[in-house]
A = this chain, B = another copy of it.
Amino acid sequence: MGVFSRTCEYAMRAVFFIAHRTPEGTRVGIKDISEGIDSPAHFLAKILQDLSRRGIIHSAKGPNGGFYMTEEDLSRPLSDVVEAIDGVQIFKGCALGLKQCSEKNPCPLHHEFKAIRNDLTKLLNGTSIKSFNEDLLNGMTSLKK
């Protein structure tokens, strides 16, 4: 596995996909999303239910229903998605999994690893979903599987 769990990868891709596909109040269904990001539909449904419950995305049932994101949703940092799915360990945890690891009692990787973790935090915490989406809309980046 990479840095994030597969579930988290799906979640991020789905969020970008939804942002990209629902510019003005429109909605996009689970089938479209799961096909668009190449993920198992039912599994993704669970993930999006979770994100929806947490208010990270929104949904509506019934005809013309589906998932969408409000302006507020779009202005959140991507770290909210990661934290919702994978938790905070990735931003705070010791590389070696040591509970006692700290500035005062650093593990052999502590200082250098902290710098890397901080960069990751800065990237995910400091950039809104909207701004990632702008790169998508401008064709500068892609979600092609």
Contact = CB atoms under 8 A, between A and B. Distances in A.
Interface of A: 1-6, 9-10, 12-13, 16, 78, 86, 89-90, 93-100, 105-110, 112-113, 115-117, 119-120, 123, 127, 132-133, 135-136, 140-145
Copies in the complex: 2
Q: Secondary structure of the A side of the interface?
A: loop
B106 A142 contact: yes
A58 B142 CA distance: 46
A98 B144 contact: yes
Contacts of A113: 123
A82 B11 CA distance: 26
Contacts of A123: 109, 112-113, 116
B95 A3 contact: yes
Given A12-B96, A16-B96, A108-B132, 13 more contacts: A1-B90, A4-B95, A12-B109, A13-B98, A98-B144, A100-B145, A105-B144, A106-B142, A108-B133, A108-B135, A108-B136, A113-B123, A116-B123
B135 A2 contact: no
